[in-house]
Structure 1
Amino acid sequence: MNTARTVNFREALRFWFKLGFISFGGPAGQIAVMHRELVEEKRWISEQRFLHALNYCMLLPGPEAQQLATYIGWLLHRSWGGVVAGVLFVLPSLLILIGLSWVYVVYGQVAWVAGLLYGIKPAVAALVLQAVHRMGGKTLRHPRYAPLLWTIAVSSFVAIAVFSVPFPAVVLAALALGWLGGRWVPAQFARAGSGHTAAVTDGVHVPAVIDDHTPTPAHARFSRARLVRVLLTGAALWALPMGLLVAWQGWSGTLAAMGWFFTKAALLTFGGAYAVLPYVYQGAVVEHGWLLGPQMIDGLALGETTPGPLIMVVAFVGFLGGWGQQVLGPDALFLGAALAAVVVTWFTFLPSFVFILAGGPLVERTHGRLHFTAPLTAITAAVVGVIASLALFFLAHVAYPAGVAANGWMRPDWVALVLVAVAALALIRFQQGVIRVIVACALMGWALRGVVWA
């Protein structure tokens, strides 16, 4: 680190605590906030080192913004610095979502609350369409037309939407195609840069605490002994609570089943929360019945309106599953649901900490030498198709909230579809903020509820 400056742990703690409450806007917005605060204003880390860490986080399954915070916290203040940064990135969102989930299950059928949710659901469908547009634009149109990437994206859409192929199989197939394509036709899998610009003050480079050429701190240097310790600690932190849950309620118990399912989900979240939602839907709704399909849309809406990574929607899934399954009995519905939300969050985010603390020292040895982009690009192309299938699923539930009639002649909810179109136009064409669009749609839904349900 730069010997002229250091970052006090208490100062870093204040920043990570604040970040947990202001990290709106999805991963792009959260990364932009960290870039502005840490690179441009505080100068805790240089542009090059920030992007190097970000590139690694983007290769990993899991929420890249939370992992980036963990990485920088670890680089500044050892393992505890990384743990604190990562936990505080998630904790406010978890507490807020537990409260909102309780309001949802208790008051969700009250007329004015239902009216707000009626308007929010089209906004969520529009947000998924925006995700398809953004990711598709970056992956399928840049740097040049790439028919193989288009083929992967369309095939993934058909596999998920038509044949219900499991999401892990789609990811593994894309990984294999990317590895082969990177060898045979590398030009088809070229990736663009990040788009960030270097930070300067009054036209002069200001040295950062962790600057471009700052030597790797001693605690961040690779050691086989340290790697083994991190992996064993991570395994213990997974096995101990899982063992307690199995001993308490059995392997088929709701909490143990949630822990195992969301461990698998955590290892498959390439491409962000939208990409893993079809897998969560398959498991939580279809396989386990922890909640209903329309409730997934409501949960995503609540997740979009709270700070923290969007994958925190899993806390909503856990809460509703714990409430419905009465994991602590009928006399402790809230405590059981809150416990389920905490269990789900623990098993979802634990792998992210292990990835950073175990892999960080290896990454610090490879400045500018990460060459795994072809498989990642193929996975990203597949994710575009997967998210498109999710958009289709959400649109169907918005248009036919009670399901499609057997004869297929049920009239769609045209008002809701118009709200989807308006929200998508606001997000994609006019670049309006997520919160503004959701609030506007919620108010329109509340105002229109009498007309729609008359």
Structure 2
Amino acid sequence: MTDLPAESQPLSRPTFREAVRVYARIGCLSFGGPAGQIALMHREFVDELRWVEEDQFLHALNFCHLLPGPEAQQLATWIGWKLHGTRGGIVAGLLFILPGALVMALLAMLYVVAANLDWFSAIFLGIKAAVLAIVVQALLRIGGRALTTPLKRAIALAALVGIAVLALPFPLVILAALLTGYAAARWRPAWLGLGAGAPSVGSSSEPAPWRYSVKAIGVWGAIWAVPLLLVFVTLGRGHVLWDIGVFFSQLATVTFGGAYAVLAYMAQEAVSGFGWLSAGEMADGLGLAETTPGPLILVTQFVGFLAAYRDAAPFTPLIAGLLGAGLTLWVTFVPCFLWIFTFAPWIDRMERAAGLKGALAAVTAAVVGVIANLSLWFALHVLFERLIMVEWGPVAVQIPVLASVQWDALGLAILAAVLLFRFHWGIIPMLALCAGAGLLLDFV
């Protein structure tokens, strides 16, 4: 008897305990960024276990791209919600985050202990160079998929100029892209590569699940606000934990396009605005996040840890750092649950919304420009020791001092690029080799 192909086999419904075991396994194995994480979930839930239909999976993935936050974690949350309701969504979402969060907390503690050691700095020189190659790869991969029309390329260029040259705030760039995409989808959908005549949001005949959505907004909005209220009441608005909570709460509402898109904005504010860490330490944190399971946006946990560790009163540095990391995790990921539980009942309606599709396409194009700025930012800070700021009216551009080039970093970046683009190494072995090469150069 011939086995049926996977898509022809009937769906099975797991028990809650069976689902939890699979969620935990995925959380521990979710390396490789959103592409690898989504591929892993597709293989588990669609191909092997047959818990979710192919069309449902892709439908939900498109829906998650409309939301701010890490799409892979939100997809995991939606799958849990689809199988076992709210408790399933909570467990699936948490287990996707927690393994990587625990590893990142341990790495952050090791980082502050060993940061002043020469061998540790040498290892992280290799990691920074590797991160530069990783970000460039993300730029090329996303750009190749997203910039399919002249308007999309123009949006990407405008985003790059707006952030890198005019120093426009990241949320303003995203808002402009959203409005441009929405307008183009309504009046010139071909400019975004969209077909004309898509049904509107209100075309569904199903009753609107208002009650569920309103309840989700109230409950998860309150959960989001609780630690901020505690900080406000006990420590006041002048404490670093208040700044951490407010900043990363704002960040959680504008993280369209994944972690790479928002890193430049976060780095700009955390390094130049708040002074929580240096540009090199920001690159170190991204390197650590690349080596852990879970969403790349866990790099925010590293930033929160260092910010509170260095402004610890009235706590000890370690306790303050852990509180900063925990608060950052809370205000970064609780909004993800809010978005999913609020909008999941509307998924069919949102899939048919032409305006939203256009807005998403424009934001994705803008993200390419934002990632290009991130690539430039990392290259300048990794490859050169000194930069000068050139200002002319509203234009402000950082120019490297060519005599300050770091030849070790340049050589390691070339090595990383060759491994990634020519030999197609995975991120983890490539990071490991570059870290080892950096350590070796320190002894030469």
C-alpha distance in 1 between matches for 2:141 and 2:261:
13
Change (3 A) 1:333 1:221: farther
1:293 aligns with 2:279: yes
Q: 1:430 aligns with which of 419, 423, 439?
A: 423
Residue in 1 that maps onto 2:252: 266
Q: 2:293 aligns with which of 307, 325, 344?
A: 307
1:342 aligns with 2:295: no
C-alpha distance in 2 between matches for 1:434 and 1:22:
14
Q: Report the secondary structure of 1:395's partner residue.
A: helix
C-alpha distance in 2 between matches for 1:401 and 1:14:
48
Residue in 2 that maps onto 1:253: 239
Residue in 1 that maps onto 2:336: 352
Q: CA deviation at 1:407?
A: 9.6
1:63 aligns with 2:70: yes
Q: Report the secondary structure of 2:425's partner residue.
A: coil
Q: Please tell me whether the aligned partners of residues 24 and 30 of structure 1 are also in contact (alpha carbons under 8 angstroms).
A: yes
Residue in 1 that maps onto 2:182: 179
Residue in 1 that maps onto 2:268: 282
Letter in 1 for 2:384: Y
Change (3 A) 1:441 1:407: closer
1:394 aligns with 2:387: no
Letter in 2 for 1:251: R
Letter in 2 for 1:291: L
Q: Report the secondary structure of 2:321's partner residue.
A: helix
How far does the alpha carbon of each residue in 1:232-282 deviate from its partner, in whole angstroms, 9 at most, with x for none? 101211222211110111123211111111111011111100101111112
Change (3 A) 1:386 1:69: same
Change (3 A) 1:426 1:221: farther
Deviates more, 1:315-324 or 1:111-120: 111-120
Change (3 A) 1:335 1:35: same
Q: Please tell me whether the aligned partners of residues 61 and 75 of structure 2 are also in contact (alpha carbons under 8 angstroms).
A: yes
Q: Please tell me whether the aligned partners of residues 271 and 277 of structure 2 are also in contact (alpha carbons under 8 angstroms).
A: yes
Q: 2:363 aligns with which of 375, 379, 393?
A: 379
1:95-244 matched pairs, under 5 angstroms:
95-140=102-147, 142=148, 146-190=149-193, 223-244=209-230
Q: Please tell me whether the aligned partners of residues 426 and 437 of structure 1 are also in contact (alpha carbons under 8 angstroms).
A: yes
Q: Please tell me whether the aligned partners of residues 52 and 367 of structure 1 are also in contact (alpha carbons under 8 angstroms).
A: no
Letter in 2 for 1:241: P
1:51 aligns with 2:58: yes
Deviates more, 1:404-413 or 1:76-85: 404-413
Residue in 1 that maps onto 2:352: 369
C-alpha distance in 2 between matches for 1:328 and 1:25:
39
How far does the alpha carbon of each residue in 1:320-373 deviate from its partner, in whole angstroms, 9 at most, with x for none? 0010111443xx21111011101001001111101111111111x449635322
Q: Please tell me whether the aligned partners of residues 209 and 346 of structure 2 are also in contact (alpha carbons under 8 angstroms).
A: no
How far does the alpha carbon of each residue in 1:273-293 deviate from its partner, in whole angstroms, 9 at most, with x for none? 010111111221111111111
How far does the alpha carbon of each residue in 1:177-217 deviate from its partner, in whole angstroms, 9 at most, with x for none? 1112223331121269xxxxxxxxxxxxxxxxxxxxxxxxx
C-alpha distance in 2 between matches for 1:149 and 1:28:
22
Change (3 A) 1:367 1:3: farther
Deviates more, 1:173-182 or 1:408-417: 408-417
Percent identical: 45
Q: CA deviation at 1:420?
A: 1.5
Q: Please tell me whether the aligned partners of residues 380 and 400 of structure 2 are also in contact (alpha carbons under 8 angstroms).
A: no
Letter in 2 for 1:147: P
Deviates more, 1:338-347 or 1:158-167: 158-167
Q: Please tell me whether the aligned partners of residues 143 and 368 of structure 2 are also in contact (alpha carbons under 8 angstroms).
A: yes
C-alpha distance in 2 between matches for 1:95 and 1:327:
24
Q: 2:406 aligns with which of 398, 405, 413?
A: 413
C-alpha distance in 1 between matches for 2:126 and 2:303:
21
Q: Please tell me whether the aligned partners of residues 328 and 335 of structure 1 are also in contact (alpha carbons under 8 angstroms).
A: no
Q: Report the secondary structure of 1:325's partner residue.
A: coil
Q: Please tell me whether the aligned partners of residues 221 and 361 of structure 1 are also in contact (alpha carbons under 8 angstroms).
A: no
Q: Which runs of 5+ in 2 are unaligned?
A: 1-8, 196-205, 390-398
Could you state the TM-score of these two structures normalised by the residue count of structure 2? 0.89
Could you state the TM-score of these two structures normalised by the residue count of structure 1? 0.87
Deviates more, 1:276-285 or 1:63-72: 276-285
C-alpha distance in 2 between matches for 1:151 and 1:245:
43
Q: Please tell me whether the aligned partners of residues 190 and 374 of structure 1 are also in contact (alpha carbons under 8 angstroms).
A: no
Q: Please tell me whether the aligned partners of residues 104 and 292 of structure 2 are also in contact (alpha carbons under 8 angstroms).
A: yes
Residue in 2 that maps onto 1:322: 308
Letter in 1 for 2:235: Q
Letter in 1 for 2:375: A
Letter in 2 for 1:379: V
Residue in 1 that maps onto 2:6: none
Letter in 1 for 2:345: P
Q: Please tell me whether the aligned partners of residues 190 and 373 of structure 1 are also in contact (alpha carbons under 8 angstroms).
A: no
Change (3 A) 1:398 1:80: same
Q: Alignment length, in residue pairs?
A: 416
Q: CA deviation at 1:430?
A: 3.2
C-alpha distance in 2 between matches for 1:184 and 1:430:
45
Q: Please tell me whether the aligned partners of residues 387 and 400 of structure 2 are also in contact (alpha carbons under 8 angstroms).
A: no
Q: Which has the higher contact order (CA 8 A, sep 6+)?
A: 1
